[in-house]
Amino acid sequence: MDVIARFCKIYTDICQISPDDLEDIYASDITFIDPITVHNGIDEVKSYFSNLLTQAETCKFDIANIFQCSVQNNQSQSEVTHVINWTMTLVLKNKTKKITLDGTTQLGVADDIIIYHKDYYDLGEMVYEHVPILGFIIKKIKGKLAK
């Protein structure tokens, strides 16, 4: 099983893995970027996922598409080799509301291990719209912009 297949398997339901399982897909010097922050190194990524696991009941990814990009021979740390489109379904502990959002991940793979991971998704849709008052304001703004 190559690293992309292992990635898809792990992301089927993040809550069913151990943070140590991330070592099967991510390099020790992984650069992991999401709309909130940047994590450098496998220990920071494992800590990030440990925190997620304490807060989430389920966190499942439905992978829609995987695109492989052409790469040069002199691959840099942030060169993208794969683009993955997904839909995430997240249920936090002590909450009954499901959060569902679409996103895209760029991956850089070298020697069958992920060295670069960058997520793109609407942070407002994931977080801000679920905060009382702030969520109401953001939805109103989106509604006005859509006209």
Highest mean pLDDT among 36-50, 95-109, 114-128: 36-50
Prediction pTM value? 0.82
Exposure on the CB side of residue 49, measured as CA atoms within 13 A: 23
Q: Kindly state the DSSP code that residue 49 receives in the 8-state scheme.
A: H
Look at residue 99 and tell me whether its pLDDT is greater than 70.
Answer: yes
Predicted confidence (pLDDT) per residue in 27-57, tens digit: 999 999 998 889 999 999 999 999 888 888 9
Residue in the structure block whose two tokens are 């719209």? 129
Query: Which of the four pLDDT bands, split at 50, 70 and 90, describes residue 128?
Result: very low
Rounded Cα–Cα distance for residues 105 and 23 (Å): 18
- Contact indicator for 30, 116 with CB cutoff of 8 Å: yes
- Contact indicator for 121, 111 with CB cutoff of 8 Å: no
- Helix (H) / strand (E) containing 101: strand 98-110
Handedness of CA 67, 15, 47, 3 (dihedral sign): negative
Which residue type occupies 5?
Answer: A
Residue 98: Cβ within 10 Å count: 11
Residue 53: Cβ within 10 Å count: 15
